[in-house]
Amino acid sequence: MPASSADSAAATLEALLPEGRVLTSAASFAGFLHDEGEWAVYGDPLAVVRAESTEEVAAAVRWCAETGTPLVARGAGTGLSGAANAIEGCVVVSFERMNAILEVNHAERWARVQPGVVNDDLRAHVAQHGLWYPPDPASSPWSTIGGNVATNAGGMCCVKYGVTRDYVLELEVVTGTGEATRLGTRTAKGVAGYNLVGLIVGSEGTLAVVTEVVVRLRPLPPAPITVAGMFDSVVDAGRAVALVAESGISPSVLELVDRHCLKAVDDWKHMGLSTEANAVLIGRTDAPGEQGQFEAAELARCFEEAGASLAAISADEQESEALYAARRLAYPALERLGPVLTEDVCVPKARVPEVLARIEEIAAAHNVLIANIAHAGDGNLHPLIITTPGDDAARGRAHEAFSEIIDAALAAGGTVSGEHGVGTLKLAGLAKELSPVSLAMHHAVKNALDPHGILNPGRAIPPLG
């Protein structure tokens, strides 16, 4: 729309909300344009609403429904698939100001929070009461619970403790027609009505706008024992993962980091990390007492059987924390080297070694650098395709590699996204994964809950073929 009519449209939105809520100047949009999904498209919003209440969110949604304006809900913008990117002419609803922890119930073990609460802030708060919110995406120091809900975020602890959806009991949402309602129940069990909570978690803001979340908590687990394994190749490390899966134990963490990642972290943070191994597995067990000892020994045995050059049960908590921190820092460290295209395929655990080998072939064939971090115990691989800034040819090759990794994962019985979501970057991949009948069901649900087609349109589900 021309600038003047955009201005007058934005003015009618501004008039509905208290002063200071609505940003309308292009200069003020800088922090609200895109997430961390490298190369995902984004446009210029019409306005940014920094909402402070459910009522304000509902007013924005109703305005969008009346005017046919796309609405993009936004947490901290740490997503990796472009799902929170501004759409040309959209309203961005930012939850930065709705960041209160409203209530913690110790006996029933839940917390009621606003969507803008940062994941680590919630974790720190409930830890004071001996409680734990498990989902721990690597972005936890920055990402918000609302964003975690929108993407069904995973993390390191998922291998034992599950993903965000497993911890969401109740939601308050604003529907696609601008009405607020609560969904779900805080009780331990409940089958009253359809599982709309589980449907909305992971729907990337395309079915409703989440304005409050009740999350289930657990007691804090015992201090973990860490087992590190050094491997000559990522494929050997993958074999160790398959052996752990066969062993029947339940590690609380099983992460893979390759040499590229360790080097990038060490170059940045000077942590004195060894970069002699080509791949490191970081296993942890938080099982209590003798069971913990047993599981740690089993992890070491699996690492050795797969050919680890070193498998050590850590006596040194400092060293173990350094390795764990290195895993968390891998992504920002690699981003310093140039644009990173992040893969997120998830494959059956027994197929991890073969898919890692295939990724090496793909890197060689397309002459791109692919670093690997992985929630290996889940089969959730994050090949990171790194290119030189400004090298358009490399960028084209990276996209080809990205697409071939998806094909390799699907061929191995995997899925295009384990935890980062579809956004726009995985739309083409998802179109390969879903049957035409399933895709039609997705669109039927989308149209049912968002009849005006305004909630983050074009994201999360590919267009009908």
Q: Which residues 6+ apart lie within 8 Å of 304 measured at CB?
A: 229, 311
Binding residue for a copy of itself, selected from 146, 205, 238, 418, defined by CB under 8 A:
418
Alpha-helical (H) ranges within 381-435 are: 392-411, 427-433
Residues in region 255-274 near a copy of itself by CB under 8 A: none
> Per-residue x/- marks for a copy of itself, 4-33, CB under 8 A?
------------------------------
**Whole-number Å distance between alpha carbons of 69 and 101:** 31
Using CB under 8 A as the binding rule, whether residue 428 contacts a copy of itself is answered as no
Beta strands in 166-316 (DSSP E): 168-174, 180-184, 209-216, 218-219, 225-231, 253-258, 279-285, 310-313
- Binders of a copy of itself among residues 133 to 192 (CB under 8 A) are 151-152, 154, 158-159, 163, 165-166, 175, 179-183, 185-192
> Cβ of 142: how many Cβ atoms within 10 Å?
17
DSSP assignments along 242-285, one per residue:
HHHHHHT---SEEEEEEHHHHHHHHHHH-------SSEEEEEEE
Q: Candidates 42-50, 231-239, 313-321, 417-425 — which segment interacts with a copy of itself by CB under 8 A?
A: 417-425
In terms of CB distance, is 31 or 130 closer to a copy of itself?
130
Q: Using DSSP, state whether 166 is helix, strand or coil.
A: helix
Sign of the torsion formed by the C-alpha atoms of 43, 48, 53 and 58: negative
| Minimum CB distance to a copy of itself, residue 419 (Å) | 6
- When asked if residue 411 is in the footprint of a copy of itself (CB under 8 A), the reply is no
CA-CA distance, 376 to 261, in Å (whole number)? 15
Q: Is the dihedral of CA 297, 302, 307, 310 positive or negative?
A: negative
128 touches a copy of itself by CB under 8 A: no
- DSSP secondary structure string for all residues of 368-386: -EEEEEEEGGGTEEEEEEE
Q: How far apart are CA 142 and CA 133, in angstroms?
A: 15
Q: Which residues contact 239 (CB under 8 A, 6 or more apart)?
A: 306, 307, 353
Buried/exposed code over 280-296 (b: 16+ C-beta within 10 A; e: otherwise):
bbbbbbbbeeeebeebb
Which of residues 277, 370, 416, 455 is near a copy of itself by CB under 8 A? Answer: 416
What is the DSSP secondary structure assignment for residue 421, as one 8-state letter?
A: -
Residue 130, interface with a copy of itself (CB under 8 A)?
Answer: yes
Q: Does 417 bind a copy of itself (CB under 8 A)?
A: yes
Site string for a copy of itself, 378-407 (x = CB under 8 A): xxx---------------------------
Does residue number 358 form part of the binding site for a copy of itself (CB under 8 A)?
no
Nearer to a copy of itself, 214 or 369 (CB): 214
Instruction: Figure out which of the listed residues 7, 55, 103, 108 binds a copy of itself, where binding follows CB under 8 A.
Output: 108
Contact call for residue 51 and a copy of itself (CB under 8 A)? no
Residue 295 Cβ, how far from a copy of itself at the closest point, in Å?
10
Given the complex with a copy of itself, which of 330 and 430 has the nearer CB atom?
Answer: 430
Judged by CB under 8 A, the chain residues 433 through 452 that form the site for a copy of itself are: 433-435, 437-438, 441-442, 444-449, 451
Confirm or reject binding of residue 285 to a copy of itself (CB under 8 A). Answer: no
**422 binding a copy of itself? (CB under 8 A):** yes
- Quote the least distance from Cβ 189 to a copy of itself, whole Å: 4
Residue 287 CB, shortest distance to a copy of itself, in Å, is 7
